[in-house]
Structure 1
Amino acid sequence: MAHTVLLTSFLTEAGHGMLELSFVRQVEEAVLAILDAGKATGKWHFSEAFVESLTTIVNEYDRQLREMRLAKVLAASERLDRMISVVHPHR
């Protein structure tokens, strides 16, 4: 899910989103906070509001995949790969 949120954010940032970038970034921050908390405590909590927001993001990503040129999606995916390689250089 984190990858989907980040890719949606990148594509929206590039001008290909129908959602407000501030909303996408808010969900992105929530995902990262949940991942950090879950990793630290072993407990995973997802509020109903978060699940609804995540559903909106997934639906937007699905729309982006259907309507955008593949080159734009690949560019966003490559950006994510570069970001991951900086954080986890041996993956």
Structure 2
Amino acid sequence: MPRKESSDLALRARIALERLRSGEADRSLVNLLSQVIIITSFITRAGHGQLDIAEIEPVERGLAEVLSQADRTGVWNVPESLTDGLTAVVNEYDRALSVTRMEIVLKASDYLGKLVGSVARDTRTNDSHLQVAR
């Protein structure tokens, strides 16, 4: 991927992470960071990651729990331990985007698109909170 494009994507992820770290949390931030995790996880599982998948999965589960808790209670609580894990994933995302073959990144993006499409089809109400970060 051209460095300008990968830098732009990584910058968006870093800004979202910093906003989360500073205490700001909402669905759009969590969705964007969830997408970063999914793409990083795909690239790692395809054999192009330097972060162990066992380090990514707990971050993915932790972020899902933050979202679930916010849906139940209306309170956005992001533990510091989760932001530490998110930092590692965002760093790996940045690295992977700049060095992984474009074919793998495109497959990861297609995979993410299928997941989002599946969730959108499963969500049958007009008040869906699904927002894809673009």
Indicate the TM-score class for this superposition, using the shorter chain for normalisation.
Answer: over 0.9
Query: Larger % of helix: which?
Result: 1
Match of 2:114 among 67, 82, 85: 82
- Give the structure-1-normalised TM-score: 0.93
What is the CA–CA distance in structure 1 between the aligned matches of 2:109 and 2:72, rounded to whole Å? 28
Q: Where does structure 2 lack aligned partners over 5 or more consecutive residues?
A: 1-32, 124-129
Look up the match of 2:44: 12
Q: CA RMSD in A?
A: 1.4
Q: Write out aligned runs for 1:4-83 (5 A).
A: 4-83=36-115
Percent identity of paired positions between Structure 1 and Structure 2:
35
Structure number with greater Rg is 2
2:60 and 2:45 map into 1 onto residues whose CA distance is: 13
**TM-score normalized by the length of structure 2:** 0.64
SS at match of 2:110: helix
SS at match of 1:18: coil
Query: 4+ residue stretches of structure 1 with deviation over 3 A?
Result: none
> Structure 1: which 5+ runs fail to align?
none
Q: AA paired with 2:107?
A: A
Looking at structure 2, the residues matched to 10 and 36 of structure 1 have their Cα atoms a distance apart, in angstroms, of 23
**CA displacement at 1:22 relative to structure 2:** 1.0
